[in-house]
Amino acid sequence: MSVVLMTTSRQGDTRWNRLVPVAAQSTFKELWIPAAEALGLQWVPLFEAGFPLERSDLPDVIRELEALRAWCVSSESHRRGILERLDRLIDELNEISKSDHDVEIFIG
């Protein structure tokens, strides 16, 4: 199993249909969850089970991901392994947040 970001255009524009890998399930449990707990994050642990996001949720989710990123940069080297995926996830969510395109967003 794995955690992914999946977006689907509600307007049929396939350029907005994306499947972005976030983490293998084991990596998510071993690295992401402990980091999220250490930081007191609320959204990130929900990624494990999966849930749909509303556009209005994006600022809070992005803020948490940026906090996680900062913590990983300043922490032990094994946590740096998630930075590439974390950066891509933040970039994708920022792109969605700034666009006016109507997409369904699911993380899980």
pLDDT on residue 78? 59
Query: Alpha carbon 53 to chain centroid distance?
Result: 11
| Backbone torsion region of residue 9, taken as left when φ is above 0, otherwise alpha when ψ lies between -120 and 50, otherwise beta | beta
Ramachandran region, residue 35 (left: φ > 0; alpha: ψ -120 to 50; beta: rest): alpha
pLDDT in tens, 19-60: 999 999 998 998 899 989 999 999 999 999 999 999 999 999
Mapping DSSP to helix (H, G, I), strand (E, B) and coil, where does residue 105 land?
A: strand
Band (pLDDT 50/70/90 cuts) for residue 79 is low
Predicted TM-score (pTM) of the model is 0.90
Residue 2 DSSP SS3: strand
